[in-house]
């Protein structure tokens, strides 16, 4: 892209000048980036949603192969634009080049994963219950069902992932794969990155011959544009990655609509780590090295950052904490994503450090430059932790809180007190892991992904991954925002009763022309119906 307009994408057109203006901020240099961006107007929101509504029936009728070709072409366009995307994202987020390049690769991988899924076609969960007119006392009707698209989906981008959870990220990819038009709410912290990526998607839509309303992207630096989008009557679902406050606001808006819609919001997670004595005695230094790296990765600005460390206070545990604290002290300071995120981190951290009953084990040496954050390890007794709900609040940044427990029974009580999480981790010897059946069951009830002898940061994009969990980690703990199963958030089941074969979707026709694996009268088969 040769120049930034700072305007929204309304299908193939651009937004209007007239809304509020703002500039992106470079936290590493602590100054504004020159380009001016324009918040979408109410008319822009209406235009984007009108186009999306018009595109809905066309996309719903699109074949899996056509959608797959579109997603593959988009991935190729992103690959070609990688240098420009990475350079702008580094400027707007202060993330290192390697992180940006890795995230762009992940974004392309997500698109290609869904393309593979669409080409195979089995994801639609086609089911056939064939008619039996001779059944007594009543004839059995012909029932055939499959997953169908919902309609226009709004995607709210994340601050901490300018690619993987942003304009062309997992929410957008899964919604498009399901056959829905998407209206993206770009994140105000990296609008230039969003404008480049939005342009690539618009180009891919044009090249595929898809309807104009397949994709739009709205700019905005406040809450008003997002509220208008969430309230629009043509909207059918929302995907969101961000704070608990923001996610709850969208949930409330969606619930108060005349016709409520689902909100799939990824919000808050402490990602507790339970460390058993046998593991600490056998490989404490190895665990300390890996855990410190996980806690401070990306300046702690990962949704899977292990923010809560639970252990029984034993000599092995105390020795382990000494090793862990040394790694925290030696970890460098980092530039946080935005001034607001950095301010929130240092404010909450200061309150915790000055609170009675909390011990600070480590505090690295900082440069004193603005926008920076220091890795910090804190510790508190289980009784104090259980008496203060504020200590359960997510602290977004490179800080972790140790909870000292008197015994495993008290550790279990701490786990019982926790809200839902994206991940829960257990470190133990093989014998400990196998023996602690109840503990593993507690962790399973707490989180969507249970990790044994590993670290929660690093979310593999795969068919089996679950990136979700009980509230407040996700607004709907039955879903995942990463992996191929994410597509089901933006679908609904439709049953076709007694339809002529030619009037059925291709996936449900007798001949099974797509060669799908289908459930026919309760039996899984790829055969045609005779």
For residues 157 and 185, is the Cβ–Cβ distance under 8 A? yes
User: Which DSSP symbol is given to 171?
Assistant: H
Q: What are phi and psi of 481, to 5 degrees?
A: -100, 0
**What are the φ/ψ torsions at residue 336 (nearest 5 degrees)?**
-85, 165
Q: For residues 48 and 151, is the Cβ–Cβ distance under 8 A?
A: no
Segment holding 61, helix H or strand E: none
Closest CA to 7 of 33, 38, 34: 38
* Catalytic annotation present for 79: no
3-state helix, strand, coil in the chain (%, to 5): 45, 20, 35
**Closest to 386 measured CA to CA, from 413, 355, 426, 353:** 413
Beta strands in 65-212 (DSSP E): 127-129, 143-149, 153-156, 182-185
Q: In this structure, what are the phi and psi dihedrals at residue 349, rounded to the nearest 5 degrees? A: -60, -45
Q: Is 282 helix (H, G, I), strand (E, B) or coil?
A: helix
Q: Does residue 123 contact residue 117 with C-beta atoms inside 8 Å?
A: yes
On the CB side of 2, CA atoms within 13 Å amount to 0
Q: How many residues does the chain have?
A: 530
Annotation says 303 is catalytic: yes
Q: In a 10 Å sphere around its CB, with 0-12 CB exposed, 13-18 middle and 19+ buried, how is residue 423 labelled?
A: buried
Q: Which residues pair with 22 in a beta bridge?
A: 37
Residue 266, strand partner residues: 241, 474
Distance CA 463, CA 459 (A): 12
**DSSP strand E in 171-227: where?**
182-185, 215-218
Which one of 266, 394, 419, 507 is the catalytic residue?
A: 266
Residues known to be catalytic? 266, 303
């Amino acid at each position: 892209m040769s120049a930034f307009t700072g305007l929204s994408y309304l299908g193939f057109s651009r937004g209007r000048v007239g809304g509020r203006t703002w500039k992106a901020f470079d936290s590493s240099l602590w100054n504004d980036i020159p380009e001016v961006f324009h918040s979408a107007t109410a008319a822009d929101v209406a235009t984007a949603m009108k186009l999306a509504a018009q595109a809905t029936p066309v996309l719903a009728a699109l074949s899996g192969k056509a959608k797959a070709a579109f997603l593959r072409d988009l991935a190729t366009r992103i690959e070609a634009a990688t240098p420009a995307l990475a350079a702008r994202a580094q400027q707007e987020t202060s993330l290192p080049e390697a992180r940006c390049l890795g995230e762009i690769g992940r974004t392309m991988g997500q698109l290609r994963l869904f393309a593979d899924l669409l080409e195979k076609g089995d994801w639609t969960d086609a089911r056939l219950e064939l008619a039996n007119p001779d059944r007594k006392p009543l004839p059995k009707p012909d029932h055939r069902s499959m997953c169908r698209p919902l309609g226009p989906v709004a995607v709210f981008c994340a601050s901490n992932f300018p690619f993987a959870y942003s304009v062309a990220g997992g929410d957008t990819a899964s919604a498009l794969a399901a056959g829905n038009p998407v209206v993206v709410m770009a994140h105000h912290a990296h609008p230039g990155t969003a404008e480049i990526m939005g342009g690539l998607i618009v180009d891919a839509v044009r090249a595929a011959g898809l309807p104009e309303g397949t994709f739009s992207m709205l700019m905005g630096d406040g809450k008003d544009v997002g509220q208008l989008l969430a309230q629009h009557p043509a909207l059918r679902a929302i995907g969101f990655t961000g704070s608990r406050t923001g996610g709850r606001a969208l949930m409330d808006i969606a619930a108060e609509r005349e016709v409520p819609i689902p909100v799939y919001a990824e919000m808050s997670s402490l990602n507790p780590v339970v460390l058993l004595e046998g593991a600490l005695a056998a490989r404490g230094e190895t665990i300390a090295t890996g855990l410190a790296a996980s806690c401070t990765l990306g300046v702690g600005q990962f949704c899977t950052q292990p923010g809560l460390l639970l252990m029984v206070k034993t000599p092995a545990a105390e020795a382990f904490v000494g090793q862990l604290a040394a790694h925290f002290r030696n970890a460098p300071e980092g530039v946080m994503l935005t001034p607001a995120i950095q301010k929130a981190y240092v404010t909450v951290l200061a309150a915790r450090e000055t609170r009675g009953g909390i011990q600070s084990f480590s505090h690295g040496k900082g440069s004193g430059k603005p926008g920076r954050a220091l890795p910090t390890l804190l510790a508190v007794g289980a009784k104090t932790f259980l008496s203060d709900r504020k200590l359960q609040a997510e602290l977004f940044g490179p800080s972790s809180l140790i909870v000292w427990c008197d015994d495993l029974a008290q550790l279990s009580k701490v786990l019982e007190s926790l809200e839902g999480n994206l991940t829960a981790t257990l470190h133990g010897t093989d014998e400990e892991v196998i023996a602690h059946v109840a503990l593993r069951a507690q962790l399973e009830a707490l989180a969507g992904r249970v990790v044994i002898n590993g670290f929660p940061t690093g979310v593999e994009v795969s068919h089996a991954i679950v990136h979700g969990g009980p509230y407040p980690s996700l607004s709907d703990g039955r879903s995942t925002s990463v992996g191929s199963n994410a597509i089901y958030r933006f679908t609904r089941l439709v049953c076709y009763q007694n339809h002529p074969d030619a009037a059925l979707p291709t996936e449900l026709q007798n001949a099974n022309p797509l060669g799908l694996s289908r459930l026919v009268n309760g039996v899984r088969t790829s055969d045609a119906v005779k």
